[in-house]
C-alpha cells in the first residue's frame, strides 16, 4: 500500500516527538511518504496531487479539522468518486477534532493511530457523505469557488464567533474551549441582528424560511464538543444522509439562555427546540440568502463575508478508514 501522510506541524495537541513516533508506526506497516505542510492550502495541494497521480492508495491527515478539510478538498478536487479516489485516514491533532471523533476514533493521536492500523489490517472502512457549499448563480457571490465540508458550515452568528477566535489566535492566544466561550459571549453582546434576522433559507418545492438570525448546517452529529461534552445541534444528522439545518429566528437574552441550555444538555435523541427554532433533516439542495454580508464558516474555518451560499449534500463521497 502506497500512502501519503500530510502533517500539520502547528497541530495544537501533538508535539514534534509524538509526530515522529506516529510516522514511524505508520511507516512500519506501509510504504509511506510523510510531508509537512508549509503554508495555508498546502494540505489541499498535496491531496489533490495524490488523487490525480492514481498511485496513492491512502492519504492520512495528521492535524485538526482544518487540516482534514484541506485534505478532503484536495481529494475531491475533480469531484467525488469513492471507488477511484484514495481512501482517507485521520489522526487527530487539533483542539476539537470533530470529524475524527464523529467517526468513532479516539481523540488521542497515538490511540487513533493504533485504531487506524487495526482497521487497515481488517480492511475496515466506510463511505461517508459530505457537504458542498458554493456561490449562488445570479448573486454577487456566484464566482466564489465551491468547497467541501466534513461536519459543519454556518452563516451568521456561529461563523462570527469563529472569526473572533481566529483573530485572538493571530494575537497569540491558545485555541482553548474557554476562548470559544468568551467569544460566544462577545459575539452575542455585539450582534446587531439578533432580534431581526437577515437570513432566508430556500429549497425546491417549499416556502422560504425567512428572518433567521443563525443557521447551522450539519453533516453529522455531534455538531461539536465542549471539552469532552458532545453537543448535538442536529441529532439526526449522519454521514449516511444528506444535510441537516438548525436555524434560530430570534436570539433575545431569554431565547439564547434557553437554547444554550438545550444545546449543553443535548443528546442523540434531542437537540435544541422551540418556537424560534427551525430544524430540517436530510436536505440535498438548499440556499441561504442574507440581506447583508454575514460571516461564513466551514469546518471551523472562517471564510469571510457572504450574502448567499448554495449547499448540496452528497451521500456517498469518500471512503474513510475506521
Q: For the segment 283-304, what is each residue's pLDDT rounded down to a tens digit? A: 999 999 999 999 999 999 999 9
User: Nearest CA to 197 among 261, 129, 276?
Assistant: 276
Asked if 135 and 81 touch (Cβ cutoff 8 Å), the reply is no
Confidence of residue 172 (pLDDT cuts 50, 70, 90): confident
pLDDT of residue 312: 98
Contacts of 74 (CB under 8 A, 6+ apart): 43, 44, 45, 46, 47, 48, 49, 50, 51
- Reported pTM: 0.93
For 211, the grid coordinates are 428572518
Give the C-alpha separation, 231 to 75, whole Å: 29
The residues pairing with 5 across neighbouring beta strands, listed in sequence order, are: 34, 60
Residue 146, CA distances (Å) to 64, 128, 149, 218, 219 in order = 21, 19, 10, 17, 16
Asked if 249 and 265 touch (Cβ cutoff 8 Å), the reply is no
The residues pairing with 313 across neighbouring beta strands, listed in sequence order, are: 131
- Positive/negative CA dihedral, 297, 102, 130, 39: positive
Q: pLDDT tens across 28-73, in order?
A: 999 999 999 999 999 999 999 999 998 999 999 999 999 999 999 9
The residues pairing with 302 across neighbouring beta strands, listed in sequence order, are: 297
Amino acid at each position: 500500500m502506497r500512502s501519503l501522510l500530510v502533517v500539520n506541524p502547528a497541530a495544537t495537541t501533538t508535539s514534534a516527538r509524538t509526530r515522529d513516533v506516529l510516522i514511524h508506526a505508520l511507516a512500519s506497516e506501509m510504504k509511506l511518504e510523510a510531508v509537512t505542510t508549509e503554508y495555508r492550502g498546502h494540505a489541499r495541494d498535496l491531496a489533490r496531487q495524490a488523487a490525480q497521480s492514481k498511485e496513492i492508495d491512502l492519504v492520512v491527515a495528521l492535524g485538526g479539522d482544518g487540516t482534514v478539510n484541506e485534505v478532503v478538498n484536495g481529494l475531491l478536487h475533480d469531484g467525488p468518486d469513492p471507488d477511484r479516489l484514495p481512501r482517507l485516514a485521520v489522526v487527530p491533532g487539533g483542539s476539537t477534532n470533530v470529524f475524527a471523533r464523529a467517526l468513532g476514533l479516539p481523540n488521542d493521536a497515538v490511540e487513533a493511530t493504533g485504531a487506524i492500523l487495526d482497521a487497515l489490517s481488517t480492511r475496515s472502512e466506510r463511505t461517508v457523505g459530505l457537504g458542498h457549499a458554493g456561490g449562488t448563480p445570479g448573486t454577487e457571490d456566484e464566482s466564489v469557488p465551491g468547497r467541501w465540508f466534513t461536519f459543519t458550515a454556518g452563516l451568521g452568528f456561529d461563523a462570527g464567533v469563529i472569526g473572533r477566535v481566529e483573530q485572538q489566535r493571530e494575537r497569540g492566544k491558545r485555541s482553548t474551549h474557554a476562548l470559544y466561550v468568551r467569544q460566544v459571549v462577545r459575539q452575542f453582546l455585539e450582534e446587531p441582528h439578533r432580534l431581526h434576522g437577515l437570513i432566508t433559507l430556500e429549497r425546491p418545492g417549499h416556502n422560504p424560511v425567512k428572518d433567521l438570525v443563525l443557521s447551522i448546517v450539519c453533516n453529522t452529529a455531534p455538531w461539536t464538543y465542549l471539552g469532552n461534552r458532545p453537543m448535538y445541534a442536529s441529532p439526526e444528522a449522519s454521514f449516511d444522509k444528506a444535510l441537516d439545518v438548525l436555524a434560530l429566528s430570534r436570539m433575545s437574552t431569554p431565547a439564547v439562555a434557553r437554547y444554550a441550555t438545550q444545546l449543553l444538555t443535548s443528546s442523540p435523541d434531542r437537540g435544541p427546540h422551540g418556537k424560534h427554532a427551525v430544524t430540517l433533516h436530510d436536505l440535498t439542495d438548499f440556499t441561504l440568502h442574507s440581506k447583508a454580508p454575514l460571516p461564513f464558516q466551514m469546518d471551523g474555518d472562517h471564510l469571510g463575508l457572504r450574502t448567499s451560499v448554495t449547499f448540496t449534500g452528497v451521500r456517498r463521497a469518500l471512503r474513510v478508514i475506521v
